[in-house]
Structure formats: structure tokens, C-alpha cells
Structure 1
Amino acid sequence: MKAVADRPAVPQVHPDAGATLSKAVRNAASLLEIRQNALARILGVSTATASRLCAGTYQLSPERGKEWELGILLVRLFRSLDAMVGHDADARKWLTSDNLGLGQAPLAMMESAEGLVRVLHYVDAHRGRI
């Protein structure tokens, strides 16, 4: 029998956390009008998986660490943007417009993990000044 220490550590989360995060990601993507293929690249999943997520037949899970963490970052970004400019046309325009501080449109950057983190830090830094 294997010792308990040999098991990979899985974060302790509430049983409904997957449903909650999945719904939050769906809502953020919908309100910001992020297309499913872009959402797939942001989360690091296939386009089919993103489609199932948007349809409500797939849930993010902490056992699939990368998509879980990227989903959390996307929701954090949405909340920060919502606090600064709302989640309407202003937020969508900001995401798709060239940004001199970031060097390109934030939505294009968000399609890599590093870019998503850079955009989140950028928004958090500006939010802190408000």
C-alpha cells in the first residue's frame, strides 16, 4: 500500500466549486463577448471543450490544474474590469483595442497564460490607482 505522502496534492475545494467557476467563466465570456475559440485558447482547452463549457455540459475541475487556474484568472480579470469600466461595451472595446501600455490588444495577449497574467496585473495596477 502506498503512503499518503506519495499522492499528488489536490487543492481542497468545495464540492460545488467546479460548477461555480464554470458558470462564472461562462458568464464572463458571454458578457465580454469572448468567442468560444478565443475562450478555448485562454483556458488551454480544445474548441470542443470550450463549446461544451459554454453549453453547460462540461465543468472545470481542480484536478485539471491548468484550465482551473486560467479560469480563475479570467474571472479575476472580469471582476477587475467590471469594477473599473463595467462589463458592457466599454469593457469589450478595451479588450479588443490596441493598448500602448501592453503593446497590443489585451484579448490577443490573453490567449497565452503569460499574456493573461500580464493583462490581469496591468488592470489590477490601474484599478489600485482609482
Structure 2
Amino acid sequence: MTPERAFDEKKVSDEDRSRVVSQAVVRAAERLGLSNALLARVIGVSDATASRLRADSYRLSKGTKPYELAVLLLRLFRSLNAILNDDEAMRSWMRSPNLALGNKPIEMIGSVTGLVSVINYVDSRRAPL
């Protein structure tokens, strides 16, 4: 179940969605070992905004591009976590050259097309349900 679908099944306010997605993307970035600068680039905000997001003094707003990109980053994290189930292994995978992708995943996720390509690759490697 996607984070958005879980929200749709319950009556959740936009404020609650914003809080949950904001906190979840910060935790995912920490577990993946992403710097503030890289998190900012991935979700399309300034470095200062990423810093405020980590300090819990800023929230992503539903319906904005940064919110949508944060949900994509969460999807990548959840897929990797399902496969590797180890933070150090996920960090290592993100920083290792990947022949199928043609680059290190960490270097690709800074663009929307790169992020989507990495997500599609990881999703294709998961066991069928």
C-alpha cells in the first residue's frame, strides 16, 4: 500500500499528511545517508529549506512538487528497505556503481528522471507478489 493510498482510506487532514510525509522523508534521507544538499536537490527545495525540514520547522505541503518528489523518495526507500533491510547495505548500494543504471544511484536521484529510473530499477528487482 502506498503512503498516499493509506491516507485516502482514512479521513486525514492535509496538515497531518504534511507532517507525516515531512517526517518520513527526513527519516528516509537519514537512513539512506543523504546530505541536506542532496535531499534539497532530490525534492526540489533550497538547502536552507531542507535544513528546516530536518529541524522540523518546515513541512512539505500536499499538492506541491517537493511533496510529490518526497513521496517518490519514500517509495525508493521502502523498496530498497524491503530488499536489503539494512541501512548500511542501502547506503552502500546507493553509492556503488550500477552497471544496469549506468551510474551510482546516489548521483542519479538528484534529477526527476534519474529518481524515477532508480525507482523503476529497484521495483523490477523486488520479488513478485
TM range (shorter): 0.7 to 0.9
**One-letter code of the match for 1:126?**
R
Q: Give percent identity, aligned residues only.
A: 46
> What does 1:21-36 correspond to in 2, within 5 Å?
21-36=21-36
- Per-residue CA deviation, residues 15-67 of structure 1 (Å, 9 max, x unaligned), is 2000000010010011111100000000011000000001100001114x210
Aligned pair count?
118
Which residue is equivalent to 1:8? none
Gaps of 5+ in 2: 1-7
> What does 1:86-125 correspond to in 2, within 5 Å?
86-125=85-124
Question: Would the alpha carbon gap of residues 87 and 29 (structure 1) be closer, same or farther in structure 2, given more than 3 Å must change?
Answer: farther
- Between structure 1 and structure 2, the one with the greater Rg is 1
Runs of 4+ in 1 over 4 A off after TM superposition: none
**One-letter code of the match for 1:85?**
L
The separation in 2 between residues aligned to 1:14 and 1:47, in whole angstroms, is 29
The alpha carbon displacement at 1:129 in A equals 5.2
SS at match of 1:95: helix
> What does 1:1-130 correspond to in 2, within 5 Å?
14-15=12-13, 16-63=16-63, 65-128=64-127
Moved more, 44-53 or 120-129: 120-129
The separation in 1 between residues aligned to 2:12 and 2:114, in whole angstroms, is 29
The separation in 1 between residues aligned to 2:120 and 2:12, in whole angstroms, is 27
What is the root-mean-square deviation in Å for CA atoms of aligned residues? 1.6
**TM-score when normalising by structure 2:** 0.86
